[in-house]
Amino acid sequence: MKKYEEIHFVDSTKPVWNYSLFTEDDISNFQNGTHYSLYKLFGNKQMEVLGRKGTYFAVWAPNATKVFVKGNFNNWQNHTHQLFVRLDKSGIWEGFIPDVGKGEIYKYHIHGYQGLLLDKGDPFAHFWEQRPLTASITWGLDYNWLDFEWMENRGKHNALTSPYSVYEVHLASWMRPSKYDEETYNTYGQIAERLVPYVKEMGFTHVEFMPVMEHPFDGSWGYQGTGFFAPTSRFGNPQDFMWLVDCLHRAGIGVLLDWVPSHFPYDAHGLFMFDGTHTYEYADMRKGYHPDWNSYIFNYARGEVKSFLISSGRFWCDVFHADGLRVDAVSSMLRLDYSRSEGQWEPNEYGGNGNLEAIAFIKDLNETLYRDFPDIQTIAEEATDWPGISRPTFAEGLGFGMKWMMGWMHDTLDYFKMDPLFRPFMQNKFTFSMMYFYDENFMLPLSHDEVVHGKSPMIYKMPGDDWQKFANLRLLYTYMFTHPGAKLLFMGDEFAQTSEWNYKSELNWSLLQHASHGGMKHCVQKLNELYRSQPALYELQFKQEGFEWVDLEKRNEAVIVYKRKGLRPNDDLIIILNMTPVVRHDWQIDAWGKQVWEEIFNSDSKEFWGTGDVFNPAIEATLVDEETKHYKLRVHLPALAGIVLR
């Protein structure tokens, strides 16, 4: 806590009092890129000073000549409430304004470099006006959390040795009050009433929210943010979002947040050219401009920017009890030549294409988060072969807990899109993932990116007639949930949404009245149950000992067999995938050590809208070699289906 003795000067006759929360250590760490709780100092803070209630404001604008606060409280006059610049050349402007309380709308009026006049929102505000309005709102973060049990035990839920099944959600379009009105939203409270029991019913262990950080443009899906310390006001205030997280935690569901430290938009009220200069972004546009997204890249070499970003990441874990951050667009951060042709980028000091400052930032970010919150996970969305993404920094890695397995996603979808007639010739594409799986701690994503921009919904990626499409998709999900690694499924995929995702409308929930879609939903529900209940599917999901190919020789028939293994031999599972629409009776499988096996999952079950005609109520086992306990199992394989034996 800061002491009131740090007041430099108070003149109660003036509209702004010269008051500070910063110590010399705060300033030093801020400038050195080592201050990771700036949200406790910057922004607006409601408090009482010398018996007067009001709000303290602090903003970093190092090249400004004057900074004013304007808002409803002074009729939006530009020059009545001027902040004081610190004399330590930190570039921080601050001051206490008496009688300004919670809920005041405001902006900073900045006299910037070369006389440029700017009106900016507060980079550290916790609450903003709902778009298209762009001002910040004075607000506190008081909340009485009720998720004690979850927070005490979440290390077990978030561990790499526990089931980790993620439901990816875009809050605006998961469910709306009116499916025809893109301007109406459920509140955070209404979302909690609907989403929490649904996720619980489906058996997902975690939800991942596409960016909830404040953003001006709906069409950016949240990935072009202006409020790095504020949940979006589209659905309510910060305490309302805390309630949503609280409800999920009390239902035993973890919360991951998409977080975007890679770039930001050029909206006039945002971070771009904040004080008339390139304050937050690189000045050299070979590093500072993002050609893919028409946005600007943070200057990771600047200590103040690094402190800002790591404070933001830490803020969501500290204040909002996030169980982890999925860091977006890591590839673009690491590479100076990302989406740039020759001549559009400059090599680093060693002649390479790595952004050394971004690499250092990422390492410090992960070290800080795991130091302060050892029971969370950070997850990288990174699509290249950059080594050691999810390896500890002391082992020359970047320090993430997991990495999205983009190669698996693309190869798997390419395989399943194929007519089953040609699958026997493409088995290498299917099995290739295990060649590099142990390089990282991988999460298998079937994310929002795969069901937009003409890529078609999951169900229509599948070949064949209507029945075959559903059978193929159930088979794909069976493969996903029995493949090593954590899982992520985008909303709507669980019941075979028939249209591409549209952020302007809600999911087509009416599809669930059809047996085919209801069966798909039930299949995913049972796969989550299988994943959570079978230790062989999660205990060693990132270890070589947890997986073994059993049979890859039946290429012509496109039947693939592998084993998943837990810490106890009795927990071992055999997974058999029949990739063609041909029923195969009396199929022989080699098994060692155990004679008695039972079928515990069949994706062709009638309850999933399968045929239900081919199953294994009893599995015949013939002893081949007593010394090695080698058995031949005789099983029946339904068409386009996966079965799991224990």
Short-list 146, 147, 145, 125, CA closest to 136? 125
Sheet strands side by side (includes 599-602): 547-551, 559-564, 573-578, 641-645, 599-602
- R_g of the chain computed on alpha carbons: 27
Cβ neighbourhood burial of 270 (10 Å; 0-12, 13-18, 19+)? buried
Cα–Cα distance for residue pair 53/335, rounded to 1 Å: 49
100 with 54: CB under 8 angstroms? yes
Buried b vs exposed e over 462-488: b needs ≥16 C-beta within 10 Å?
Answer: bbeeeebbbbbbbbbbbbbbbbbbbbb
The two tokens of residue 126 are: 């916790």
Question: 13 pLDDT exceeds 70?
Answer: no
| pLDDT > 90 fraction of the chain, expressed in percent and rounded | 91
Single-letter amino acid, residue 340: R
Q: What is the pLDDT of residues 418-443, one digit of tens each?
A: 999 999 888 888 888 888 888 999 99
The answer to whether 177 touches 187, Cβ cutoff 8 Å, is no
Q: How far apart are CA 345 and CA 352, in angstroms?
A: 11
DSSP codes of every residue in 505-532: S---GGGGGSHHHHHHHHHHHHHHHHHH
Tell whether domain 162-537 is in CATH 3.20.20.80: yes
Number of H helices, E strands in the chain: 15, 28
Residues carrying an active site annotation: 328, 381
Q: Which residues pair with 632 in a beta bridge?
A: 590, 622
What separation in angstroms does the CA of 107 have from each of 86, 125, 383?
Answer: 20, 10, 38
| Cα 550 to Cα 563: distance, rounded to the nearest angstrom | 6
Residue-wise pLDDT tens digits, 428-487: 888 888 888 889 999 999 999 999 999 999 999 999 999 999 999 999 999 999 999 999
CA dist list (Å): 419 to 427, 468, 603: 13, 10, 19
DSSP class of 102: T
- The token duo for 387 is 């080594």
Report pLDDT for 10: 53
pLDDT tens sequence across 357-413 = 999 999 999 999 999 999 999 999 999 999 999 999 999 999 999 999 999 999 999
Task: Identify the bridge partners of residue 130 per DSSP, sorted by sequence position.
Answer: none
248, 196 contact by CB (below 8 A): yes
Helix, strand, coil in percent for the chain, rounding step 5: 30, 25, 45
Mind listing the pLDDT tens digit for each residue in 267-297? 999 999 999 999 999 999 999 999 999 999 9
Cβ-based neighbours of 557, under 8 Å, separated by 6 or more: 424, 578, 580, 582, 584
- Work out the burial of residue 440: count CB atoms within 10 Å of its CB; fewer than 13 is exposed, 13-18 middle, 19 or more buried: buried
pLDDT at 644: 98
Would you state the pLDDT for residue 275?
Answer: 97
pLDDT at residue 256 tops 90: yes
| Residue 537 near residue 481 (C-beta atoms within 8 A) | yes
Closest of 24, 34, 107, 122 to residue 305, by C-alpha: 34
Question: What does the alpha-carbon distance between residue 602 and residue 615 come to, in Å, rounded to a whole number?
Answer: 7
Domain boundaries, the chain: 4-137, 162-537, 544-645
Q: Which two tokens stand for residue 212?
A: 């909830």
Question: Mean pLDDT, the chain, as a whole number?
Answer: 95
* Its pTM surpasses 0.85: yes
State pLDDT tens for residues 564-599. Answer: 999 998 999 999 999 999 999 999 999 988 889 999
Q: Are 145 and 242 in contact (CB under 8 A)?
A: yes
Give the whole-number percent of the chain exceeding pLDDT 70: 98
- Compute the distance between CA of residue 470 and CA of residue 603 in angstroms, rounded to an integer: 10
Fold match flag (4-137 vs 162-537) = no
**pLDDT at position 109 over 60:** yes
The enclosing H or E element of 547 equals strand 547-551
Pairing state between β 324-327 and 377-380? parallel
Fold of 4-137: Immunoglobulin-like (2.60.40)
Residue 623, H or E segment: strand 620-625
The pLDDT value recorded for residue 3 is: 41
Fold assignment, 544-645: Immunoglobulin-like (2.60.40)
pLDDT tier, 1 (very low <50, low <70, confident <90, very high otherwise): very low
Between CA 360 and CA 363, with CA 362 as vertex, the angle to 5 degrees is 65
pLDDT in tens, 165-188: 999 999 999 999 977 677 789 999
pLDDT given at position 324: 98
The set of long-range contacts for 300-306, using a CB threshold of 8 Å and a minimum separation of 24, is: 300/333, 300/355, 300/357, 300/358, 300/360, 300/361, 301/357, 302/33, 303/30, 303/31, 303/32, 303/33, 303/34, 304/30, 304/31, 304/33, 304/60, 304/62, 304/91, 305/33, 305/280, 306/33, 306/361, 306/364
